[in-house]
């Protein structure tokens, strides 16, 4: 097997394993990662063993270690800056009022809704309640009811999107690390 | 560090690929060494010299005047 064939095989197996793990966790099927990850590792190792060409030598090791060290330096500095910025966002988030809402089915087939506004950074208890708005019919609300409803929906969306944002952050972080490493690798590969 | 790998390879009618295979490195490493961009380890230096059947001094020449603290960076 050639080096490029092995690389293509490794990439396809990694993508397949990642896709299977990504699918199985939300589906609640924990057997898939337990089987897929070791199986993928075995396939990749078997591919590497069958390569007749030299995969890695001392020059490549030097290039990779230099690129990895520079990537680490850049990622640590950029990560520290990003962490401070994101943490300041988290602190300032508690200054926003907490909005909750609840829908009640009405007698005549309509749905009413109660929206509660609590003091910033406080638990949702009656003493921290700032304002309550009741929308008699959520299908026929007036202007102030609509404003309250929009604010509630915005809060709800933020909460729902939090997990997605976390996943995106990890994904973008990994891509940034890979791109940085790739750039340094190409630089040192040309240098040596 | 200067080297005579290209000359010795020509004398032995050997391609970069063949030399790389004999000493167990990639062709890119041989290319880099021939361009004086990469200084090999002592181990690889001896392997190359042994492949050509000469001493390590006949392959590599240390240039003291060009050596500096920032040479490796």
Percent of chain A predicted with pLDDT > 90: 29
SS3 A136: coil
Is the pTM for the entire model greater than 0.90? no
Residues of B in contact with A54 (CB under 8 A): 20-21, 24-26
- Nearest CB partner across the interface for B29, out of A53, A57, A191: A57
- A101, A90 Cβ separation under 8 angstroms: no
- Selection from A132-136, A156-160, A183-187, B67-71 with the highest mean pLDDT: A183-187
The total domain count for chain A is 2
Reported as a single tens digit per residue, the pLDDT across B24-38 is: 998 999 999 999 889
Query: Domain B2-65 is classified in which CATH homologous superfamily?
Result: lambda repressor-like DNA-binding domains (1.10.260.40)
Tell me whether residue A75 is in a domain: no
Kindly state whether residue A91 falls inside one of the protein's structural domains: no
Let me know if residue A41 belongs to a domain. yes
**pLDDT: is A45 or A117 the higher one?**
A45
**pLDDT per residue over A5-40, tens digit each?**
888 999 999 999 989 988 888 788 888 889 999 999
Residue A181 included in any domain:
no
In a domain, A85, yes or no: no
Residue A34: other Cβ atoms inside 10 A: 12
A38 occurs within a structural domain: yes
Q: What are phi and psi for residue A35, nearest 5 degrees?
A: -90, -45
Does residue A137 contact residue A110 with C-beta atoms inside 8 Å? yes
Question: What pLDDT sits at residue A93?
Answer: 63
- Contacting residues of B for A59, CB less than 8 Å apart: 25-26, 28-29, 32, 38, 40
Q: In 3D, which of A153, A160, A165, A163 has the Cα closest to residue A25?
A: A163
How does pLDDT run across B39-49, given as a tens digit for each residue? 999 999 999 99
Question: Count of A–B CB contacts within 8 Å?
Answer: 31
φ and ψ at A9, to 5 degrees? -65, -45
For residue A90, pLDDT over 80 is answered with: no
pLDDT band, residue A48 (cuts 50/70/90): confident
The residue segments making up the domain with residue A1 are 1-55
Average pLDDT over residues A164-177: 86
**Residue B68 pLDDT grade (very low, low, confident, very high; cuts 50, 70, 90):** low
| Contact yes or no for A192 and B26 at CB 8 A | no
Q: How far is CA A76 from the centre of its chain?
A: 19
Q: Mark yes or no for CB contact B25/A191 under 8 Å.
A: no
Question: A184 lies in a domain?
Answer: no
- Give mean pLDDT, residues B1-6: 90
Model confidence at A61, pLDDT cuts 50, 70, 90, reads very high
State yes or no: pLDDT of B73 exceeds 60: no
- Would you say residue A101 lies in a domain? yes
């Amino acid at each position: 097997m050639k080096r490029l064939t092995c690389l293509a095989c490794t990439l396809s197996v990694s993508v397949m394993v990642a896709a299977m793990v990504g699918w199985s966790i939300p589906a609640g099927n924990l057997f898939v990662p337990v089987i897929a990850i070791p199986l993928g590792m075995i396939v990749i190792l078997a591919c590497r063993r069958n390569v007749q060409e030299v995969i890695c030598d001392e020059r490549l090791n030097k290039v990779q270690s230099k690129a990895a060290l520079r990537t680490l330096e850049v990622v640590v500095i950029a990560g520290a800056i990003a962490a401070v910025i994101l943490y300041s966002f988290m602190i300032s988030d508690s200054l926003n009022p907490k909005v909750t809402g609840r829908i009640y089915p009405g007698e005549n087939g309509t749905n009413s809704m109660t929206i509660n506004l609590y003091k910033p950074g406080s638990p949702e208890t009656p003493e921290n309640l700032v304002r309550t708005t009741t929308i008699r019919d959520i299908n026929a609300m007036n202007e102030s009811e609509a404003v309250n409803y929009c604010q509630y929906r915005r809060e709800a969306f933020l909460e729902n999107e939090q997990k997605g944002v976390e996943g995106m952050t990890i994904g973008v972080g990994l891509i940034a690390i890979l791109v940085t490493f790739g750039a340094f690798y190409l630089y040192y590969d040309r240098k040596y | 560090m200067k080297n005579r790998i290209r000359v010795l390879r020509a004398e032995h009618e050997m391609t970069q690929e063949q030399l790389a295979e004999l000493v167990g490195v990639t062709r890119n490493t041989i290319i880099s060494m021939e361009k004086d961009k990469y200084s090999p380890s002592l181990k690889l230096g001896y392997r190359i010299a042994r492949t050509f059947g000469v001493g390590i001094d006949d392959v590599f020449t240390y240039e003291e005047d060009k050596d500096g603290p920032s040479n490796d960076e």
